[in-house]
Amino acid sequence: MSEETSGSVEPKSLDIKGILAALPHRYPMLLVDRVVSLVPDGEIHAVKAVSFNEGFFQGHFPGRPIMPGVLQIEALAQAAGILAIETLGLAGTGKLVYFMAIEDAKFRAPVEPGVLLNLEAGFVQKRARVCKFWGKASVDGKVTCEVNFTAMIADS
């Protein structure tokens, strides 16, 4: 996509170094592997490579491993956190993005090992300290989770 005269912004991507610069999360809680595209003030598309080696698969569920829904929501929140940090220019400032509310969470399909979980999130409302987001996770175009959530930006 190229920048148009209408003032649209060229999307950017982030590798793991950019993700680690934006988020304080580290293994085993870092749930975003790559940012495919990020449009400041708009939306983010990130991915999580879901591997059988993840610790939660040992107990959820033996014989039928499924990624817990709350971890799908956490992955979406981390993607939204990257969007907020990049949009507000807060990378490296020590600011953190904290959950305040989770609303309208719906789980549509199980997420099994060996897939790429697509994470899409965008702003519903943006203020200096509190942002509202929508989020949608999917595998191969099939929605697995949808959620709306609110986050607060605060000092670490």
Q: How far is it, in rounded angstroms, from Cα 96 to Cα 98?
A: 6
Name, in order, each residue with C-beta under 8 angstroms of 60's C-beta and a sequence gap of 6 or more: 66, 67, 68
From the list 50, 61, 54, the residue with the least C-alpha distance to 28 is: 54
60 is known as an active-site residue: yes
**Amino acid type, 30:** L
**Catalytic entry in 25, 60, 132, 136:** 60
Cite the active site residues: 60
